[in-house]
Structure 1
Amino acid sequence: MREVERDGMGTGGNDALSLSYEEWRGRMAEWGEPGFRADQICGWLYGRKVFNYHEMSNLSKSLRERLSGSLLMPLPVLIREQESRDGTRKYLWQMTDGERVESVLLNHGGHTTACISSQVGCPLACTFCATGSLGFTRNLTPGEILGQFLMMERRRLDAGAEQGINNIVFMGMGEPLLNADSVFGSIRMLNHPKMRGLGARHITISTSGVAQGIVDLADFEIPIRLSVSLHAPNDALRSRLMPINRSCPLSRLVEALHIYRRRTGERVTIEYALIDGINDDPQLAYEMAALLDGLEPYVNLIPFNPIPMKPELHRSPEPRVKAFCTALSELRIEFEVRRERGADIMAACGQLAGSLPGPAK
């Protein structure tokens, strides 16, 4: 795996959505404003989803003008939106430099989950993932990450929803732990009680297996959830499916997971996409059990979602899925088969590629 840049292409200290609460307080102090102005501004941005400074009516006119002239609000622009038969929505966003990413809003009945992108493209090139076929362009800034969430939430509230988005998963385009500074920064803002106030248990990072990033996450001050894309329980097969395994083999990944488990006491969710004739042999379930011994994982079996650039790959048929599930049950590994959502609009796991076929909503 090649090294990738960790700094996004943004507006730096002039990007309002990349400012932490403490930075807002500091900026107000520099301008001779009382500290509570930071609370008011964050209330507009994260509570009311108002992004025009001139509409922030409890601020003085002079402060609104200074904000407008000093701090940019580089919100992503919605290019297209689609709705799946199951109610899943997919959004194509354009950033201020013209780069585009996708994010997804999943409706689970009583709650909603935002699936957010952290990079433009992805450097990891997993063979079964559409995003990996794009290559890597750049990291997103904290503000660009937050912008996806806030704009999705505003659209939902504008449509009459009684509440905002309940959960966020960093499972969109890109590898979150290769953009850890921006991702961790955005999580701090999402979680901060003066900002979005989203509970730690409602935030999940999904990684393809960046071992050092997992260790860093174990020391992160906010106890968010961790999900790991495994997809194969031995090095030969995993290196074939996921090139990251060549530089970060399973021994390093599992060592990092044990460190995470010891330091946090949290269980890890293991993601495993079942691909017909590739990784769905029940014997591989036994290999997985041996590999993850002592971790008490929760295994999420994912029906493989077809992608046009890999027509030779197919979803495992039902008998193969049942046989794999039987093996996991015999091994007393807790698991579930994930319900497919959004595949008809290319919004399911592994399908995000910055394009939206079919009619827009």
Structure 2
Amino acid sequence: MIDLKTLSRGEIGDLFQKMGLPEFRVSQLIHWMYEKNAASIDDITEFSKPLRETLKGFSYIGSVKILKKTTSPDGTIKLLFGLEDGLSVEGVLIPDEYRLTLCVSSQVGCAMGCRFCLTATMGLVRNLRADEIAGQITAVRRELQAQGGISGGEITNIVFMGMGEPLRNFDGVVRGIHILTEFMGISKRRITLSTAGVVPELQRLYREIPEVNLAVSLNATTDETRSALMPVNNKYNIGALLRACGRLPISSRRRITFGYVLLKGINDTPADARRLIALLKGLSAKVNLIPFNTYDAAKFEPPDEQTVLEFQQILIDRHVTAFIRKSMGREIYAACGQLKTCHETASP
């Protein structure tokens, strides 16, 4: 059986041509799968019943399902998505006054080994296909539309900040983003891709999809500390990463976001803040300060609020745009990897 969602527009066109179907049927199928969120061929009422039966004889519309959903008092919704092979990945739906942002995964697990990340303890199982990446958005859209489902309107922004390193699944992620933009109506400028710093793929990313926003997980101001936290730094150190960022063809009106997870006693000192200012000099940059979101058996702690505020103020005083990203969803295991771990531990 062919999963129609694994096919490109050209592949659907070739298939329908062999069936003797007109070109407009291709557009109709894509519209129903990606805009009307059809869960099955039977949902496509624009197709005649005989055509639906013919298609069902050799194909189907694959889907990502929501296995578990937990809602925090602050409105954050943590989602566990089930894939057709029985594996699962996580997502987070984050509402604020102006946006409804969905954080999606690009891999089952992760091979990057970042010491502060629970997902890193799982290792890498496999890359997600493009249709599985898009399927996370479709699953949430269905839930938003369903009576009694998630409330909060339409998804406005997509961030690749869930499980996995997007640039280690480059082809799947790029094709997934093309599905989001070409078939699902999501602007590239409302998509943010977060990377731990896979330097060779950064230039390639901006050749393929230059309009997407980039977030780089920096998390330290010396190679010694960053290598201890993020093994990727042993291959692509801070200097190499920032030089690569400086070469990206980013317009003067846009900035790279540098994520900085604040860890108590590790990278949260005034000296770290001053080194961060020096590192980012000359770059079109802004900083997201992220107090560590702890989990069971974590080896790190978040700094106290005063330390976080002082770190931010040092940056602001030197004209570096710095935001403190509120840790949302602490009550619902919103740190990446927590919900999946809890679900699998509780499963028989």
Q: Same fold (TM over 0.5)?
A: yes
Cα offset, 1:212, TM superposition: 1.4
Give the aligned residue type for 1:117: S
Cα offset, 1:110, TM superposition: 3.6
Equivalent position of 1:338 in the other structure: 325
TM-score after normalising by structure 2: 0.92
Match of 2:176 among 172, 176, 186: 186
Equivalent position of 2:269 in the other structure: 281
Match of 1:354 among 323, 327, 340: 340
Tell me how far apart the structure 2 counterparts of residues 222 and 39 of structure 1 sit (CA, whole Å). Answer: 26
Give yes or no for the alignment of 1:71 onto 2:59.
yes
Give yes or no for the alignment of 1:226 onto 2:222.
no
Superposed CA offset, 1:304-323 (max 9, x none): 1002132x311111221122
Tell me how far apart the structure 2 counterparts of residues 165 and 313 of structure 1 sit (CA, whole Å). Answer: 33
Tell me how far apart the structure 2 counterparts of residues 333 and 276 of structure 1 sit (CA, whole Å). Answer: 22
Tell me how far apart the structure 2 counterparts of residues 345 and 91 of structure 1 sit (CA, whole Å). Answer: 10
Superposed CA offset, 1:41-93 (max 9, x none): 11111221112112211113343223223333331233211111111111112
Aligned CA RMSD, in angstroms, stands at: 2.1
Give yes or no for the alignment of 1:320 onto 2:307.
yes
Could you list the runs of 5+ residues in structure 1 that have no partner in the other structure? 1-10
Tell me how far apart the structure 2 counterparts of residues 148 and 264 of structure 1 sit (CA, whole Å). Answer: 32
- Shift in CA distance, 338/28, structure 1 to aligned 2, threshold 3 Å: same
Superposed CA offset, 1:312-339 (max 9, x none): 3111112211221121012210111112
Contact 1:123–1:135 (CA<8 Å) still a contact in 2?
Answer: yes
Superposed CA offset, 1:110-135 (max 9, x none): 42111101111000111111111111
Contact 1:74–1:95 (CA<8 Å) still a contact in 2?
Answer: no
Cα offset, 1:167, TM superposition: 1.0
Tell me how far apart the structure 1 counterparts of residues 198 and 44 of structure 2 sit (CA, whole Å). Answer: 42
Cα offset, 1:229, TM superposition: 0.6
SS at match of 2:208: coil
Give yes or no for the alignment of 1:217 onto 2:205.
yes
TM-score after normalising by structure 1: 0.89
SS at match of 2:180: helix
Could you list the runs of 5+ residues in structure 2 that have no partner in the other structure? none
Contact 2:295–2:338 (CA<8 Å) still a contact in 1?
Answer: no
Tell me how far apart the structure 2 counterparts of residues 39 and 281 of structure 1 sit (CA, whole Å). Answer: 56
Cα offset, 1:264, TM superposition: 8.7
Tell me how far apart the structure 2 counterparts of residues 96 and 264 of structure 1 sit (CA, whole Å). Answer: 43
Match of 1:254 among 235, 242, 245: 242
Contact 1:276–1:314 (CA<8 Å) still a contact in 2?
Answer: yes
Q: Which has the higher contact order (CA 8 A, sep 6+)?
A: 1
Contact 1:103–1:114 (CA<8 Å) still a contact in 2?
Answer: yes
Cα offset, 1:26, TM superposition: 3.1
How many pairs are equivalent?
Answer: 343
Equivalent position of 1:176 in the other structure: 166
SS at match of 1:228: strand
Identity of counterpart residues, as a percentage?
Answer: 36
Equivalent position of 2:316 in the other structure: 329
Equivalent position of 1:30 in the other structure: 18
Give the aligned residue type for 1:115: C
